[in-house]
Amino acid sequence: MHIRKKIQNRLARKRRIRSKIRGTAKRPRMTVFRSLMQISVQLVDDEAGKTVVAVSTKELKAKPNIEGAKKLGTAVAKKAKDAKIETVTFDRNSYKYHGRIKELAEAARSGGLIF
Q: Would you say residue 2 has pLDDT above 90?
A: no
99: alpha, beta or left? (left if phi > 0; alpha if psi -120 to 50): left
User: How many domains are contained in the chain?
Assistant: 1
26 is a domain residue: yes
- What CATH number did the domain enclosing 54 receive? 3.30.420.100
**Chain segment 44-63, per-residue pLDDT in tens:** 999 999 999 999 999 999 99
Domain range holding 83? Answer: 2-110
Q: Alpha carbon of 61 to those of 39, 68, 71: distances in Å? A: 11, 9, 10
115 is a domain residue: no
Task: pLDDT band for 64, please (50, 70, 90 cuts).
Answer: very high
95 is a domain residue: yes
Strand order in the sheet with 29-34: 50-56, 39-45, 29-34, 89-91
92 is a domain residue: yes
105 is a domain residue: yes
- Residue 85: per-residue pLDDT: 95
**Chain segment 66-110, per-residue pLDDT in tens:** 999 999 999 999 999 999 999 999 999 999 999 999 999 999 999
